[in-house]
Structure 1
């Protein structure tokens, strides 16, 4: 009997968000419209996204013994996430500085803080959490050796969802465990650096090339165009429903959290991607990351894309 639908292993950051008319270029200074602080980080975001949809979720992460750490713990508990795996101390809480322009697009710089200290021994010490999860979701805002330890520590029959963000080289053993590997367009091209497929503008070509490197399945998120997925049953594209975009911050995390949860319930890849596309679109219709994540009924009400 699994105690959790989903265990998220990853980052927890305080998001420092600044609104701008346009994002600055190299060497350029622009004026912002204020500063707000929100709970964030890819791991924390994905855990909250899944919990709001009804999943039984636990988070394994590190935060500092500071005000930002308290903010993150409170947001997880408020969403219904089990924080027994959140380790406190050993450095300040990670911080992300985010600029959001008038079109809702963002640029993000992350200072990892305590996230960089989530170590392989922390994964080994959390064996009971890993044993209790149907699906484990991980991202790359924590050390590569810690991600590798997660793949080695999966319970028999557990499924790994890996969001390769920010993009980094992945060991063969990690790639082989991904089911799916989740990337956006920029991350797909970064992982394909030097591969002929990287010269293509076709997401299907990218997905096929990434599949050849060992993952069991690949999902490429395409922003307003939806998502493309490839696996043993072929390749398919899911269009996104049209929404009025307020802020895209966290939309990818909402997508991945929803995808991982639906896979844990027994959905096939296509059904899970279709649901996750609706959740990601719904998240774009509100400001901030976690504050914009939908409840189950909100996402289902959007229907399919055009």
Structure 2
């Protein structure tokens, strides 16, 4: 039996730290401007096992959860590196599928001033859900084109064993839209998105976190964990609507921050914590990850995370149940981004 099974694609990330770029606002959105056709210097390069599901599996195992992992790899250097990493971290590899028809996924991450843009390359996959043993939770995240083929079997598995579902849709799932993900959304216990992803599904006419969460739960999920970068994060569930600032500290590189947040949030729920307490766990894990290069180096063990929380007794979520509390949250969010 597992506490959680992570489902999604794996990749090998190559990080390129650059400085010869300018960030400009275009229609209110930050855009990177560089000299096309130039040879741009790279200040530092780093390689890491990555992928949303991979990050969740490693993070869950470090937090003491019995963790399984379904992904598709090739018998190539990248595939062997990923399997070795999972074994080292104590993640079960029994559901890793090896297919030599296509190589292991790869991504290139451009890092500038603590933020990053990711060029994602997904190999074609023929997904087929393995016969899972019982797990308390499943974490479904980024998959490539053709992701829908596992949804019927996964729905049957979730229903049969009454398994809870955490859903953090990736690029292809987001682009397919809510309707294509309906089978999963109806069974989702926690839907995790950032503000921009939420807007892509429920409308760009608002950026208000409360309104976005209300619209998202109408798609089917029981609860929403909504992140807004350095501005902080929100939890929307039957327990109420809460806000918490981002974890105080430096940001070297932000890749994997969202995965770290959701991993700790769901781990807290698995361990019997409330949604408001889970909202404390998420930023602490994310705050550690952004102080390192790559999505996994900063993932915390349970004792480390609980130790940080013990030192931060005033790091508490704000219940957004009045105009006063909402104004306070808005003030804190603005302060975080300045």
TM > 0.5 between the two?
yes
Residues 27/172 of structure 1: CA separation in 2 closer, same or farther (3 Å cut): farther
Residues 231/147 of structure 1: CA separation in 2 closer, same or farther (3 Å cut): farther
User: Are 1:132 and 2:140 matched, yes or no?
Assistant: no
1:207 to 197, 208, 213: 213
Range with greater deviation from structure 2 (24-33 or 225-234)? 24-33
What residue number does 1:151 align with? 155
Query: Aligned runs of 1:78-157 on 2, under 5 Å?
Result: 78-89=88-99, 90-101=101-112, 103-113=113-123, 116-119=124-127, 122-123=128-129, 126-127=130-131, 129=132, 131-142=133-144, 143-146=146-149, 148-149=151-152, 150-154=154-158, 155-157=160-162
SS in 2 for 1:76: helix
Contact kept, 8 Å, 1:165 with 1:187, in 2: the verdict is no
**TM-score (norm: length of structure 2):** 0.80
Q: 1:81-120 CA distances to partner (integer Å, 9 max, x unpaired)?
A: 111111112310001111111x21111111112xx4151x
Instruction: Please report how far the alpha carbon of residue 9 of structure 1 lies from its aligned counterpart in structure 2 after TM superposition.
Output: 0.6
Measured in 1, the distance between the counterparts of 2:288 and 2:190 equals 22
Measured in 2, the distance between the counterparts of 1:141 and 1:182 equals 15
Contact kept, 8 Å, 1:135 with 1:263, in 2: the verdict is no
Measured in 2, the distance between the counterparts of 1:185 and 1:27 equals 30
What residue number does 1:186 align with? 196
Measured in 2, the distance between the counterparts of 1:254 and 1:160 equals 17
Residues 136/80 of structure 1: CA separation in 2 closer, same or farther (3 Å cut): same
What residue number does 1:8 align with? 6
Residues 33/213 of structure 1: CA separation in 2 closer, same or farther (3 Å cut): same
User: Are 1:174 and 2:184 matched, yes or no?
Assistant: yes
Q: Name which one, 1 or 2, has greater alpha-carbon Rg.
A: 2
Contact kept, 8 Å, 1:161 with 1:180, in 2: the verdict is yes
What residue number does 2:29 align with? none
Range with greater deviation from structure 2 (251-260 or 59-68)? 251-260
What residue number does 1:18 align with? 16
Residues paired across the two proteins, number: 291
Q: Bigger relative contact order, structure 1 or 2, given CA contacts below 8 A and separation 6+? A: 1
After superposing on structure 2, the runs of 4+ consecutive aligned residues of structure 1 that deviate more than 4 Å are: none
Measured in 2, the distance between the counterparts of 1:151 and 1:8 equals 15
Q: Could you say what the CA RMSD is over the residues aligned between the two structures, in angstroms?
A: 2.0
Q: Which sections of structure 2, spanning at least 5 residues, go unmatched?
A: 23-31, 317-331, 333-338
Instruction: Please report how far the alpha carbon of residue 255 of structure 1 lies from its aligned counterpart in structure 2 after TM superposition.
Output: 1.4
Measured in 2, the distance between the counterparts of 1:144 and 1:222 equals 26
